[in-house]
Amino acid sequence: MIATYIRVEFARHIRDGYNLIFALLLPAAMYFLFGNIPSYTEFDLGSGNVKFYLMVSMAAYGAAVSTVAIAGTVATETMQGWGRQIALTKMPPAAFVTSKMIVAATVAAASAALVFALGSATGARVTEGWIWSVSYLIILAGAMIFACYGIGVGMVFKSESALGLASGLMVFFAFFGNVFMPLEGGMLDAARFTPMYGYVALARYPLLKDIPAGYDMAPDALWIPVANLVAWALIFAVFAVVAIRKAKARQ
């Protein structure tokens, strides 16, 4: 039953051109726009170059937005009564959520892979090949915490605007989470407490780890982004569980 539902989910999202363009093509377009400015993207940075830094940033943002876009559809489904239809089947709620997570992870993997392919084709480079695979895996694993966020927002705001709200907040998280542009001073200190900071900092860490402390772009101690990611994973997981329980109580 789970396999059937996953297949139905994929078919539905493939037919939804808006979601595919937003989740897959927008991050790739953003990398292509900002990652090919010759005045600075060719410079060396850590164990690679600036292009690789921007590629990882855009891939992480795209993967996170993809999971939110897929998981957030639970709002529309609930509003249309799809949740009651699922309740009539033998599929338990845990299997329903697992199916959503699998579809979200697959779309996120495709989104990040597209950005990585563009990066490889346009000159993103690192000195050691393992940095490509490790950065990619960190992006995929970290993006899944935002699926919980998308489900939570979708269950709290049961309307067609829920997905727009969730995605709009992701832009806010990215700007103030040191994703789109390097922050410094008080802005950087505040960014360390935002949801996107630890996730993207971990994805960049394999590239930046060799930069000595005190230099521009030097990464934080590893425990800082790890603690940020774990904390927000717990917050979003609790948020999703509470939102689902409240939604079921109202039904």
DSSP string, 9-74: HHHHHHH-HHHHIIIIIHHHHHHHHHTT-TTTTTSEETTEEHHHHHHHHHHHHHHHHHHHHHHTTH
Higher pLDDT pick, 14 / 65: 65
pLDDT tens column, 57-94:
999 999 998 888 887 776 666 666 666 666 666 766 66
Domain with 156 in it: 2-250
Rounded Cα–Cα distance for residues 223 and 199 (Å)? 12
pLDDT at position 69, please?
A: 81
Residue type, 220: D
**Percent with pLDDT over 90 in the chain:** 34
pLDDT tens-digit readout, 187-227: 989 999 999 999 999 999 999 998 877 677 788 889 999 99
pLDDT at 139: 96
Q: Which distant-in-sequence residues (6+ apart) come within 8 Å of 121 by Cβ?
A: none
Cα 147 to chain centroid distance, Å, stands at 8
User: In this structure, what token pair is assigned to residue 119?
Assistant: 């990066």
CA distance 37 to 172: 24
Domain count of the fold of the chain: 1
Task: Provide mean pLDDT across the span 167-193.
Answer: 88
Rounded to two decimals, the pTM is 0.88
Question: Please, what is the Cα angle at 195 between 152 and 22, to 5 degrees?
Answer: 70
Going from the C-alpha of 46 to that of each of 149, 196, 207, the distances in angstroms are: 32, 21, 6
In degrees and rounded to multiples of 5, residue 66 shows phi and psi of: -60, -45
Which pLDDT does position 42 carry in this prediction?
76
Q: Write phi, then psi, for 76 (nearest 5 degrees).
A: -65, -40
pLDDT band at 56 (very low <50, low <70, confident <90, very high): very high
